[in-house]
Amino acid sequence: MADFLKSNMLTGILFIVGALAPLIIYIGLGPDGAGLLSALWTEKLGSWILLVIPISLMRVKDSMSDGDGFPLVKIGFLIVVIAYAAGMVADSMATQPNDATFQALDLAVGSIVWPAMFLGFAITGLGYYLQKEFHVAVSGIMIIVGVYAFVVIGILALDDESLFTLPAYLGFTLVNLLLGIFTIRKS
């Protein structure tokens, strides 16, 4: 069991869970999907399960040795962790969909922290590219998705309802799925 907890297999599975969980929870089970979960439980489960993304990034970072990309991976990881923590605060506001004050706070906090998370994601991808930690295409897609999402959500300030944010979230899902598959293949 101890070997499994240290393994690439576990890290890969965590990436894949982080890729698929938002689709299942938010789109499948939440109020915007089948309606089986309330807004409160959708945000709770989504926030808790999505903790696997920074955990997965940490596990990859901790398995790396010093190299050209390692400083960028550490910087990107730190930004992701800070943004995720603040993002959980934003998501907690979304648990009250009928309260205009909470919704305004969710948008205000989210408009700052989610672009920051994507910026950290892009920096981590650049570190992976320089370090040759993953296939160049995976690192490249990670960088492109992170920069695109930062621009669309942070600079252009488009909300989740805009079609232009869809590639950001689908790209995030794709990258985490690819990171999971390539990490498992390292096993």
Beta carbons of 121 and 60 less than 8 angstroms apart: no
3-state SS assignment for residue 37: coil
Nearest to 60 by CA among 1, 142, 119, 115: 142
Tokens at 76, concatenated: 């990107």
pTM: 0.91
Model confidence pLDDT, tens digit, residues 132-184: 999 999 999 999 999 999 999 999 988 878 899 999 999 999 999 999 999 99
Task: Note down the domain range covering 79.
Answer: 2-185
pLDDT in tens, 22-80: 999 999 999 989 999 998 899 899 999 999 999 999 999 999 989 999 999 999 999 99
For residue 146, what are its two tokens?
């992170």
> What are the pLDDT digits (tens) for 114-133?
999 999 999 999 999 999 99
Q: Tell me the C-alpha distance between 114 and 118, whole Å.
A: 6
In angstroms, the CA 181 to CA 11 distance is 10
